[in-house]
Chains A and B, each alone.
Chain A
């Protein structure tokens, strides 16, 4: 009996320590990211992803870092390398979590990055993909504020390009704000970003 207790307590302790290591690692990665140490943060997310297995979140954030980085990079070789890397991370994430709206939103952003970087080359092939991913994400999670906000952002961009009024999508932003308020993630490190972009996107509504 005692031995059983000992073994049991041993297991609890080791799982507890691995959980602690995960939380510590993720915390450290977010800290690095917050301090603009993007590549170090992405590296750490990759390490956590590799060590954890079965967990999509580290890969998801590693991908996000690379995608966001391309928006203020000019070097074509770097952009393409980062986007390929980000796609690989998302592919990993998808194997651990199928039909995940958050991953679809991230993949939509990845495809948007291609269009932003070279519209003539990627506009035709990737625009449809962006639209499809946002729609799928919204079907899975109708109240996901990121899906609603970034889809509206994308549609406003298209409307401006076509000389239409982007204001048509302003009610969507209001909806997104509402769902941001309601959002209460239960899993630690679950995505909850995006609220700080509301003001930028709302510029179109003035």
Chain B
């Protein structure tokens, strides 16, 4: 009897419990009610969805202290820990999730491309299907505003800065020689194959405190975290052969890629303005190994590149031309680790190492140089909330350069230097709400060789003015050590300095993007010397300066015409500088006032073809005519080029690709070289610096072999 009573008592206590009603209203910060939010006591079945007027009410038999959870799409989850008896007539204002698509973005100065981020201006396919880029990862970026068309060089010239002012990083670590070795006036290419990379950030100014030693620009490349599938890629191109393979096993994956380039057969068919003795030949191999740990990812990238060529360079002062030969070997290693430390701490660390060896022959002079460089970096990031994140870190650069020049006339001459520097940086990003965000950072650098310590502040601010548009501002100071060509003769110079002021307007609406950016950039402490090129015994100083101001416009439309995407970039550039051996401030040869790129891509469904065209225009570039009194006072004719490419998909995994640059055969002139001495009439004779050939043709066949038969190499073209 007693036990029966106990049992009954038990049942009653289990089943008859006091029911408490929890109620309230859920709103946006502005007070607008949120219907459909999920409100519940954590760990129980007790909960409800808010009604159309944002109110909710439900009963619970829980007692004591409980956690109430309120969650809704595009808003931060709200937690309230209190006694259930106090959870009555609650007024809950959810905060907007600042990571959602409609939020403001800190984008002044930056283009992101190839990833799925909100700010992406180029899709992964664009980077590689842009006509004229010819598979060069850098090529597509040259169609973005802020860059100058310097077709005889191939590197990035950003906002009045020369090519040395732009640095390239892979997975946050410096790439010391991102471009293939080449001769004067023969365009170079990026060393990296496009298919090893995913997202890219291209900053034309005002970039993060994490990056230094660049006056104008940083290009940040990220290798793929996890390849989608195992496959083999074969490429047969009119100028070379390539093979790539990806393997995945357990938590590892390995991608390798090799390419052999030989321009000899091509140059025998198509006449060149350059007299090649040994046409351009190069071999490059790359590999990426990835290992997934429980809380992190390790990536190891290695690239080996060998280039060999010899030619006679035309020269106005040397009738028979200058014999120039080059053998370059470049090894680049990059190891990085990114992992969660728990408690919203993230660790990013890694090291890169480069060994670059050149064996150069200029007429009778032999130059052998060896450049070893390393970069070590560690960065910690703490996410306090979606709205406040702090990152800080330190890095060390180690550089060791040695060169030996031998010539019958002067025997042997050795030069070299060790360029070591240490930097520390810290940056905070703060989202006040979905409309207003800012990032402030500071960077300090100490350079041992030049014995300087510099502190550079960086800041950016963004404000959303309407659902489809925003404005942002950025400011930053940037320091860069002088280049190798100077450091090997002089190490008592100051670092060069630039300051950026940027105002950006962004409009994004349903597949259409308009981006307008105005900027002013000042240059200070630029290196000057009193000879045509830096030489041993030249007089050096850091008294150069200059400025660049301009407007960059970018318009993209993916929606108006079916299967047709296009973008237009226009850059206006006003720049003058007094540097190197300039007698006064002048606009350098690489800086054209107006640059325009029009890129269009049409997907012809019936033909299974992607047809792409790029038109580039640049106004005349300044050149120096010694027959006049004004330094760099003349201008070349305008630059025009129309490039076309056609990718035909024979089947899902076989692609035929044809590309022609400068289809219309515009006769472009980049610059003029004048004689050192006047002729009998008292005039300085000149020769035009022109492309090595007016057109460049590529025919290729790309074949992907994979189990699922879906993938193809459209992303490699």
Shortest CB-to-CB span from A61 to chain B, Å, is: 14
- B40, B69, B125, B711, most chain A CB atoms within 10 A: B40
Residues of A within 8 A of B558 (CB): 120
Contact of B38 among A2, A47, A122 (CB under 8 A): A47
Instruction: Verify B565–A120 contact, CB threshold 8 A.
Output: yes
Instruction: Verify A128–B710 contact, CB threshold 8 A.
Output: yes
Instruction: Verify A47–B45 contact, CB threshold 8 A.
Output: yes
Instruction: Verify B711–A51 contact, CB threshold 8 A.
Output: no
Contact of A51 among B36, B43, B125 (CB under 8 A): B43
Q: CA A43 – CA B37 in complex, angstroms?
A: 8
Contact of A181 with B by CB under 8 A: no
Which segment, of A74-82, A171-179, A187-195, faces chain B?
A74-82
Instruction: Name the CB-closest residue of A to B102.
Output: A77
Contact of B630 with A by CB under 8 A: no
Contact of B228 with A by CB under 8 A: yes
Instruction: Verify B40–A50 contact, CB threshold 8 A.
Output: yes
Instruction: Verify B116–A125 contact, CB threshold 8 A.
Output: yes
Which segment, of A7-15, A93-101, A140-148, A197-205, faces chain B?
A7-15
Residues of A within 8 A of B47 (CB): 43-44, 47
Shortest CB-to-CB span from B194 to chain A, Å, is: 12
Contact of B7 with A by CB under 8 A: yes
Shortest CB-to-CB span from B410 to chain A, Å, is: 56
Contact of B369 with A by CB under 8 A: no
Instruction: Verify A124–B45 contact, CB threshold 8 A.
Output: no
Instruction: Verify B40–A162 contact, CB threshold 8 A.
Output: no
Q: CA A158 – CA B608 in complex, angstroms?
A: 13
Instruction: Verify B102–A50 contact, CB threshold 8 A.
Output: no
Q: Given A47-B45, A158-B710, A120–B125 Cβ distance below 8 Å? A: yes
- B11, B69, B101, most chain A CB atoms within 10 A: B101
Within 8 A of B (CB), among A118-140: 120-125, 127-129, 131-132, 135
Within 8 A of B (CB), among A16-56: 17, 21, 25, 39-40, 42-44, 46-48, 50-51
Residues of B within 8 A of A163 (CB): 608
Residues of A within 8 A of B708 (CB): 128, 131-132, 135
Within 8 A of A (CB), among B469-497: none
Instruction: Verify A2–B101 contact, CB threshold 8 A.
Output: no
Residues of A within 8 A of B3 (CB): 2, 6
Residues of B within 8 A of A14 (CB): 14
Instruction: Name the CB-closest residue of A to B651.
Output: A162
Contact of B681 with A by CB under 8 A: no
Contact of B584 with A by CB under 8 A: no
Residues of A within 8 A of B10 (CB): 6, 10
Contact of A167 with B by CB under 8 A: no
Q: CA A158 – CA B229 in complex, angstroms?
A: 18
Shortest CB-to-CB span from A154 to chain B, Å, is: 10
Instruction: Verify A162–B652 contact, CB threshold 8 A.
Output: yes
Instruction: Name the CB-closest residue of B to A131.
Output: B708
Q: CA A40 – CA B510 in complex, angstroms?
A: 29
Shortest CB-to-CB span from A98 to chain B, Å, is: 13
Contact of B532 with A by CB under 8 A: no
Residues of B within 8 A of A77 (CB): 74, 100-102
Instruction: Verify B7–A25 contact, CB threshold 8 A.
Output: no
Q: Given A47-B47, A80-B101, A132-B229, A122–B116 Cβ distance below 8 Å? A: yes
Instruction: Name the CB-closest residue of B to A128.
Output: B228
Residues of B within 8 A of A158 (CB): 652, 710
Residues of A within 8 A of B44 (CB): 51
Instruction: Verify A131–B710 contact, CB threshold 8 A.
Output: yes
Shortest CB-to-CB span from A123 to chain B, Å, is: 8
Q: CA A77 – CA B51 in complex, angstroms?
A: 22
Contact of B707 with A by CB under 8 A: yes
Q: CA A129 – CA B225 in complex, angstroms?
A: 13
Q: Given A120-B125, A128-B229, A162-B608, A81–B100 Cβ distance below 8 Å? A: yes
Q: CA A2 – CA B11 in complex, angstroms?
A: 16
Q: CA A128 – CA B649 in complex, angstroms?
A: 18
Q: CA A121 – CA B126 in complex, angstroms?
A: 10
Shortest CB-to-CB span from A53 to chain B, Å, is: 8
Instruction: Name the CB-closest residue of A to B649.
Output: A162
Instruction: Verify A48–B45 contact, CB threshold 8 A.
Output: yes
Contact of B542 with A by CB under 8 A: no
Q: Given A50-B42, A128-B711, A162-B608, A13–B14 Cβ distance below 8 Å? A: yes
Instruction: Name the CB-closest residue of B to A17.
Output: B14
Contact of A6 among B6, B123, B710 (CB under 8 A): B6
B-contact 0/1 string along A64-97, CB 8 Å cutoff: 0000000000001110111001000000000000
Instruction: Name the CB-closest residue of A to B6.
Output: A6
- A6, A42, A128, most chain B CB atoms within 10 A: A128
Residues of B within 8 A of A132 (CB): 228-229, 708
Contact of B715 with A by CB under 8 A: yes
- B73, B116, B124, most chain A CB atoms within 10 A: B73
Contact of B120 with A by CB under 8 A: yes
Instruction: Name the CB-closest residue of B to A48.
Output: B45
Residues of A within 8 A of B97 (CB): 81
Instruction: Name the CB-closest residue of B to A14.
Output: B14
Contact of B49 with A by CB under 8 A: yes
Contact of B366 with A by CB under 8 A: no
Q: CA A70 – CA B69 in complex, angstroms?
A: 25
Instruction: Verify A121–B101 contact, CB threshold 8 A.
Output: no
Residues of A within 8 A of B711 (CB): 128
Q: Given A6-B6, A6-B7, A43-B47, A78–B73 Cβ distance below 8 Å? A: yes
Residues of A within 8 A of B7 (CB): 6, 9
Shortest CB-to-CB span from B120 to chain A, Å, is: 7
Residues of A within 8 A of B714 (CB): 124
Instruction: Name the CB-closest residue of A to B508.
Output: A76
Shortest CB-to-CB span from A74 to chain B, Å, is: 9
- B3, B37, B198, most chain A CB atoms within 10 A: B3
Residues of A within 8 A of B36 (CB): 39-40, 43
Sample (30) of A-B pairs whose CB atoms are under 8 Å apart: A10-B14, A14-B14, A17-B14, A25-B45, A43-B38, A43-B40, A43-B47, A46-B38, A46-B71, A47-B40, A47-B47, A50-B42, A50-B43, A51-B43, A76-B510, A77-B74, A77-B102, A80-B100, A81-B100, A81-B101, A122-B116, A124-B124, A125-B116, A125-B198, A127-B710, A128-B710, A131-B229, A131-B710, A132-B229, A162-B608
Known: A40-B49, A132-B228. 16 other contacts (CB 8 A): A6-B6, A43-B47, A46-B38, A48-B45, A50-B42, A76-B101, A77-B74, A81-B97, A124-B123, A125-B228, A128-B708, A128-B710, A129-B228, A132-B229, A135-B707, A162-B651
Q: Which 8 A-B pairs have the closest CB atoms?
A: A128-B228, A43-B38, A77-B101, A39-B36, A131-B708, A81-B73, A40-B49, A47-B40
Interface residues of A (CB under 8 A from B): 2, 6, 9-10, 13-14, 17, 21, 25, 39-40, 42-44, 46-48, 50-51, 76-78, 80-82, 85, 120-125, 127-129, 131-132, 135, 158, 162-163
